Amino acid sequence: MKDIIISTLDRDRILQNIDKTRSSGTGVRVNLTPLLTELKRAKIMTPETMPSDVVTMRSIVKLVYKNTGKIMQVQLVYPNESDLTKSKISVFAPIATALLGYRKGDTILWKVPGGEAELVIDEIIYQPEASGDFMV
């Protein structure tokens, strides 16, 4: 299992969203255990020291399926910002949880109906920390 890096700001906001979801009762069908596990094992850094090749919250990422070469672009967002028509994927979704904290060039496994897909993080098109957008 590769090491992952998460910013203090992202960690705190994700934990707030988890608490909000749990207290509202709307998260009954959402399995948050994988996300909590990732948060616990992550190396935590300040947003100002975050390497620019790490997938953080609100990053826009270009992914390539290893077996087909198909390209997919997604943005990791908080649950209330999720919009699949704009490829904005909630951090509560398994694919976003799998991406968070990994680096450009890393391969992630994503469970799909036919088994597992291998996706390569080909490019980080936008990362808030690299752009100095610490409060977005």
Asked if 99 and 76 touch (Cβ cutoff 8 Å), the reply is yes
What pLDDT shows up at residue 26? 58
- Rounded distance between C-alpha atoms, residue 6 and residue 100, angstroms: 7
Find the helix or strand (DSSP H, E) in which 5 lies.
Answer: strand 5-7
Q: What is the pLDDT along the chain (136 residues), one digit of tens a residue?
A: 688 999 999 999 999 999 888 887 655 567 888 899 999 999 999 999 999 999 999 999 999 999 899 999 999 999 999 999 999 999 999 899 999 999 999 999 887 778 888 999 999 999 999 998 876 5
Pick the CATH number of 5-126 from 3.30.70.3000, 3.30.70.600, 3.40.640.10, 3.10.50.30: 3.10.50.30
Q: What SS3 state is found at 80?
A: helix
Beta bridge partners of 90: 77
Please tell me whether the overall predicted TM-score, pTM, comes out greater than 0.95 for this model. Answer: no
Distances in Å between the alpha carbon of 136 and those of 43, 47, 54, 113, 116? Answer: 21, 12, 17, 34, 33
Segments making up each domain of the chain, as ranges? 5-126
- Rounded distance between C-alpha atoms, residue 99 and residue 73, angstroms: 12
